Structure 1
Amino acid sequence: MVSASSPAQPHGNTASDTPTDADLDVLLKQLGNLLTPMAVRVAATLRLVDHLRDGVHDIAGLAARTGTHPPALARLVRHLVVVGVLEGGEEGGPLRPTRLGLLLADDHPAQQRAWLDLDGTVARADLAFTGLLDVVRTGRPAYPDRYGRPFWEDLSADRALADSFDALMSCDEDLAYEGPAAAYDWSGVRHVLDVGGGNGALLAAVAREAPGVRGTLVELAGPAEQARRRFADAGLGDRLTVVEGDFFKPLPVTADVVVLSFVLLNWSDEDALAILRGCVQALEPGGRLLVLDRADSAGDGADRFFSTLLDLRMLTFMGGRVRTRDEVVRLVASVGLTEAARHTSRSKTLPFDFSILEFVAAATPASAKE
């Protein structure tokens, strides 16, 4: 669900061409400069494309609409024209967004303007990448140093940031949660405990998919309140309960199925193990742990690019990491659980690079019983 631009390619080359040294020099300058990404993000934050579509076609009008300094804005626009986001403007002619630039329209289904808006959660957090050198040297996230508190605490304390984050995540919500809820066989399940389940989107999808299931969501105060509203609005308040809590402390209830959805990638191995131990304690005898997460892509091209981008965001924002399926299995095995056969009933194909892993208590060796 985290989005980004595609990797740069040398201009004028096809996939079959061999790039020259000059091509590579241009490509490296494109990859290494900080200006163009920030120029695009400023354009997104100022909603320049929306203003152009509304009929404002010159610098003076754009500056009046955006409250910016006209000469400085003109210089920004000139660079946006050079990189292909805008076009026109020669000798006082009208400015227009290019086909690429139209991706920055607020109503574009790709929602790139929101992802790049510097007042929004993710683009604001991306500014912590200026501390990436220290992150690589120390292995510690840069976000707390820049903003004074860890990422999730910041969102819990700042309603505007939390709302921005939820809006970004909800753009693919039907795929992110309805798909996994439909793919898993909930027959025989009585009670689902969703640990750190955000605004309750997955638990609500499970409740719709399995009408006989009860659910409990454990979350911090901010997302907990949003989940209560979601459940009430969906008519699910009689089956789904929200408990404010911290998953680094003992969980308040037990269940026959405990779910961790998009939680483990936010945390280091040490913290992830602490979360997993709490989940094991909350499992009823014979219970199952479900881990819904994004797996590290083994592919190449755009898939690999997005996977490594997300991994570095997790590291820089929170100290987390995107793990391979085998790494998740080994991590969970450290707390005494083993992977079970897939418990799917209709579809094993999940959107994006998501996966559902199911774990049960590891069998006790016969020698240990004696």
Structure 2
Amino acid sequence: MASETTDPGARLAALTDLATPFAVRAAVTLGVPDRIAEGTTGLADLAAATGTDADSLARLLRHLVAIGFLAEQDGGFALTDVSRHLLGEDSAWQKKWLALDGPGAKMDLAYAGMAHSVRTGRSGYEPVHGVPFWDDYQRDDALRGFFGAIMAAHAWQTGPLLAAEYDWAPVKNVIDIGGGVGALLVEVLRGQPHLEGAVLDLPPVAAEAAEALDGSGVRDRAEFVPGSFFDELPAGYDRYVVSRVLTDWPDADAVRILRRCAEAAGSGGRVLVVEVLAGEEHAKNNSSFDLQSLSLLGGRERSVRDFEVLAAEAGLAVRGSRSWDGGLVLVECEAA
């Protein structure tokens, strides 16, 4: 008899098991790891602390023990390395993502529309939720705040490097197109005190951006501009930064965004495409990220060459491309 690790049927069952990821999400949503960490380890006490039915909770805990998320100990339950890791400070964002009543789960449900995405090349979010992602982004404050926080976290990682490594000396002003609450802009302005700048994003972001800019220390040099990068963009800026935006869109829309930037930049400005690429080895082992981009947003992972091709289609000439350790990529363009 074939062992479970080699039996195709067993492997297929493991690959298609939805109970396990939802069991972990349920445990996080109910606060089970937190209560155990606080010393509540018995079934009855855990049920009381989490407001759950004891018998149903026991069935959940039994599966969590079976998969190694929890362990049985001294007649109660204990954390394992996996569940303990989830309570660490560095995993706070992942914990929020896993909550079944939060925006992360709402976004992940777009995977149910993956067949639609593969058929059409478009986002699977609308077939699942009945509304396109970016429309929901504008009307759902929790979704917008959560997604914006993820983007801001990326900006805090890449912004200081961009501020230090790019030659900003001849630049007087910069605008971050689709820059959310302005996290990347703030880092650039902090690193380059001579610069003035703006961040452009959809009107519902205005209040959150104002709050972020007010506490940034560069408010006197930064402003929020409401708008869409599919519409005419404000002219007169020396640099138009498009950071981690194009990955969220299919090729045709990415070209439209870059074309708007090219029109606004004119002959005197430049367009800076700023992305963080996974790298070949990372992408090979994390192909699910590309599928997430497709299913959630209709976007895709791209190479430096891909961005250069998009720029050319938008009427831009590539002046040069740079890459840094960690995956940061800068493609600098000007009017062709």
TM-score using structure 2 length: 0.91
The aligned counterpart of 2:324 is 349
1:63 is aligned to 47
Choose which of 132, 147, 150 in structure 1 pairs with 2:129.
Answer: 147
The CA deviation at 1:324 is 1.4
Aligned pair count reads 332
Among candidates 62, 66, 72, match of residue 56 of structure 2? 72
Q: Which one-letter code corresponds to 2:15 in the other structure? A: L
Q: Which has the bigger relative contact order, CA under 8 A and spacing at least 6?
A: 1
The SS at the match of 1:192 is strand
1:211 corresponds to: 193
Structure 1: segments with no counterpart, 5+ residues: 1-19, 363-370
- 2:258 is matched with 276
8 Å Cα contact 1:121/1:164 also seen in 2: yes
Q: Which residue of 2 is the match for residue 265 of structure 1?
A: 247
Contact 1:337/1:359, CA 8 A, preserved across alignment: yes
Q: 1:263 & 1:169 partners in 2: Cα distance?
A: 10
**Structure 2 gaps, min length 5:** none
Equivalent in the alignment of 2:301: 322
- 1:152-184, CA deviations, whole angstroms, 9 ceiling, x for partnerless residues? 221221112222233444455532322333222
Give matches, 1:1-370, under 5 Å.
22-25=4-7, 26-88=10-72, 93-105=75-87, 107-111=88-92, 112-171=94-153, 173-295=155-277, 297-299=279-281, 303-306=283-286, 308-342=287-321, 349-351=324-326, 353-362=327-336
RMSD: 2.1
Go from structure 1 to structure 2 and tell me whether the alpha carbon gap of 1:259 and 1:171 turns closer, same or farther (over 3 Å shift): closer
Supply the AA of the counterpart residue of 2:292.
Answer: R
Change beyond 3 A, Cα 1:309–1:182: farther
Distance of 1:181 and 1:24 partners within structure 2: 51
Is residue 120–residue 165 contact of structure 1 (8 Å, CA) maintained in 2? Answer: no
Question: Structure 1 residues 248, 173: closer, same or farther in 2, change over 3 A?
Answer: closer
Larger helix share, 1 or 2: 2
Quick one: distance in 1 between partners of 2:253 and 2:136? 18
Q: Quick one: distance in 2 between partners of 1:172 and 1:272?
A: 20
CA gap 1:297/1:31 in 2 versus in 1, 3 angstroms: farther
Instruction: Tell me how far 1:131 sits from its aligned partner.
Output: 2.2
Distance 1:290 1:109, change over 3 A: same
Deviation at 1:121, TM superposition (A): 2.3
Change in Cα spacing, 1:337 to 1:172, as seen in structure 2 (3 Å) is closer
Contact 1:103-1:113 at 8 Å conserved across structures: no
In the superposition, the TM-score normalised over structure 1's length comes to 0.83
- The amino acid of 1:292's aligned partner reads V
Alpha-carbon separation, structure 1, partners of 2:330 and 2:208: 25
Contact 1:193 1:254 in 2 (8 A): no
Distance in 1, Cα, partners of 2:329 & 2:46: 45
Provide, for residues 52-101 of structure 1, a one-character-per-residue CA deviation record: whole Å limited to 9, x for no partner: 11111122222222222222221111111011000015xx7120110111
| Residue 13 of structure 1: aligned partner | none
